[in-house]
Amino acid sequence: VRDCIQKTLTEWSSKIGQDQNQETLEVLECSVAQAVEKINPEERDELKVSAKLFIVGSNSSSITDAVDLACSALGVAQLDSVIIAPPPVEDGTNLSLEYLQPYWKELENLVQNKKIVAIGTSDLDKTLLEQLYLWAQVKPSSNQVNLASCCVMPPDLTAFAKECDIQLLTHNDPKELLCEASFQEVLQESIQNVKANKWIPLWLLRYSVIVKSRGIIKSKGYIIQAKRNAS
């Protein structure tokens, strides 16, 4: 992820040169057009577009921004599935249903507005997954389990998922895919005269486009949004 961000920022920065005043930018929007392949509408039915969203800050509205930007970048009207990684909680605080609810409501709104077909979770144990399932209007269709935390799926989680038709998937993503310090370091290395310590990443979305009939990945990439802290 770090390498992808650095390469994109470096190439983007070299193209804009000093045309933009870094001091006046509040949201950093940069892209390398040739690096993103838009989906041909004629091929859309043959492809599955899925994403995993990592929220860095504690703002549930970031979900809508992320999905809108992903759809725009890929040239599609909706994503087939979105999995949300648990947003960061303060030290000493356990992840709870109450904490997840505003994020899940945002996802439900996107399903109802036909921006997403199916929504899923990541790293929820049986208790929390059950609480979310019973509360939610749009039920989670999947739950990812980290391979680093368990070699074998917990039996209680497996039984509940089977009963409620929730697909259990595995992943090996680190708990923190991109920390604020790492992002600022990349920013400092890639763009001249930028006050990197004022920039904070808001979210990171990883997408993949899969050919349904063959099960191969046609394209994949990351989309990240960062904001300049005025203070």
Q: How far is CA 39 from CA 18, 57, 215, 218, in A?
A: 33, 30, 17, 10
Asked if 97 and 135 touch (Cβ cutoff 8 Å), the reply is yes
pLDDT the model gives residue 231: 59
On the CB side of 94, CA atoms within 13 Å amount to: 6
- Domain ranges across the chain: 44-212+219-226
Angle (CA) 191 193 196, round 5°: 70
Q: Which two tokens stand for residue 54?
A: 């990592």
pLDDT the model gives residue 86: 82
Query: pTM value?
Result: 0.87
pLDDT the model gives residue 35: 65
Radius of gyration for the alpha carbons in the chain, expressed in angstroms and rounded: 19
pLDDT the model gives residue 146: 87
Tens digits of residue pLDDT in 100-137: 999 999 999 999 999 999 999 999 999 999 999 999 99
Angle (CA) 7 221 36, round 5°: 80
Q: Which residue has the higher pLDDT, 214 or 91?
A: 214
Tens digits of residue pLDDT in 13-53: 776 654 554 555 666 666 666 667 889 999 999 999 999 99
**Among candidates 180, 186, 170, 181, which has minimal Cα distance to 201?**
180
Tens digits of residue pLDDT in 138-159: 999 999 998 776 667 889 999 9
Residues in contact with 20: Cβ distance below 8 Å, sequence separation at least 6, in sequence order: none
Q: Counting beta carbons within 10 angstroms of the beta carbon of residue 167, is it exposed (0 to 12), middle (13 to 18) or buried (19 or more)? A: middle
pLDDT band for position 225 (cuts 50, 70, 90)? confident
pLDDT the model gives residue 67: 96
Tens digits of residue pLDDT in 42-85: 999 999 999 999 988 767 778 999 999 999 999 999 999 999 99
